């Protein structure tokens, strides 16, 4: 039996105990891929890693694993790849590029800058707002973000034999730039295949995608995959 991981939907990064930063990814792409694989193959099992509100397949051969933020996704993926032999990993999830570092206000920043001559020390000493629910009476909130871990970069390191399919979405670029960025993603993360899309073509109702393999062969797709 072949074991497959498909990531789908988006991630949500907490601002406080009730508020989050998220994206609009529905999980339709991941669900479409999963359903196609299930129709074409009987002897497979899919770990479908997705956000709570993502679309998902309902087949009994699918084990749905819900995650919240990027760190939750990272822990889940690391656990699956170390416990199971995964034959294919299809990473279609829209993972947040940034997560919350801390929350403060403009007034708190100004106060800290006044109290310290060194700007680096001033920013280290800024009073931050706690992790509980931020009061709705706070004015001029400042949310400081930090980069999230690149999930795709850990997959081949943990499981070198897993066939890895990555996805790259850009917006309003030339075909040449889209393919070149996809190749860099492939090379950096040891992907076996990368699917590249331009958001501008999706908005216009025509979905044009490109599949780039390890041999630099490029196949153009003109289907509605999302």
Structural domains of the chain sorted by starting position, each given as residue range(s) with its CATH number in brackets: 2-96+150-222 (3.40.50.10300), 99-146 (no CATH)
Is this structure's pTM higher than 0.85?
yes
pLDDT in the model for residue 203: 61
The rounded mean pLDDT for the chain is: 91
Question: Tens of pLDDT along 167-207?
Answer: 998 888 898 999 999 999 999 999 999 999 888 777 655 67
Question: Tens of pLDDT along 72-121?
Answer: 999 999 999 999 999 999 999 999 999 999 999 999 999 999 999 888 88
| E strands in 115-222 | 141-147, 163-170, 193-198, 208-213, 218-222
Nearest to 62 by CA among 49, 53, 74: 49
CA angle 121, 127, 131 (to 5 degrees): 130
Distance CA 88, CA 7 (A): 11
4, 46, 110, 132 from 87: Cα distances, Å: 6, 10, 53, 41
Question: Tens of pLDDT along 54-70?
Answer: 999 999 999 999 999 99
Distance CA 52, CA 48 (A): 12
Residue that is written with structure tokens 């931020």 in the block: 134
Residue length of the chain: 226
């Amino acid at each position: 039996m072949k074991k497959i991981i498909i990531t789908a939907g988006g991630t949500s990064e907490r601002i406080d105990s009730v508020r989050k930063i998220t994206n609009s990814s529905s999980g339709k792409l991941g669900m479409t891929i999963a359903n196609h694989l299930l129709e074409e193959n009987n002897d497979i099992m899919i770990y479908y890693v997705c956000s709570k509100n993502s679309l998902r397949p309902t087949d009994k051969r699918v084990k749905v694993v819900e995650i919240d933020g990027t760190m939750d996704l990272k822990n889940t993926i690391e656990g699956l790849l170390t416990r199971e032999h995964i034959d294919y990993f299809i990473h279609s999830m829209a993972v947040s590029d940034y997560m919350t570092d801390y929350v403060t206000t403009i007034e708190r920043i100004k106060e800290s800058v006044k109290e310290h001559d060194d700007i680096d020390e001033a920013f280290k000493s800024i009073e931050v707002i706690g992790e509980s629910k931020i009061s709705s009476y706070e004015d001029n909130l400042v949310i400081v973000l930090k980069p999230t871990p690149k999930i795709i970069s850990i997959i081949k390191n943990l499981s070198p034999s897993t066939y890895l399919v990555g996805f790259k979405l850009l917006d309003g670029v030339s075909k040449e730039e889209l393919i070149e960025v996809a190749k860099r993603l492939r090379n950096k993360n040891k992907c076996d295949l990368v699917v590249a899309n331009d958001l501008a073509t999706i908005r216009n109702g025509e979905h044009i995608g490109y599949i780039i393999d390890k041999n630099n062969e490029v196949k153009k797709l003109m289907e509605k995959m999302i």
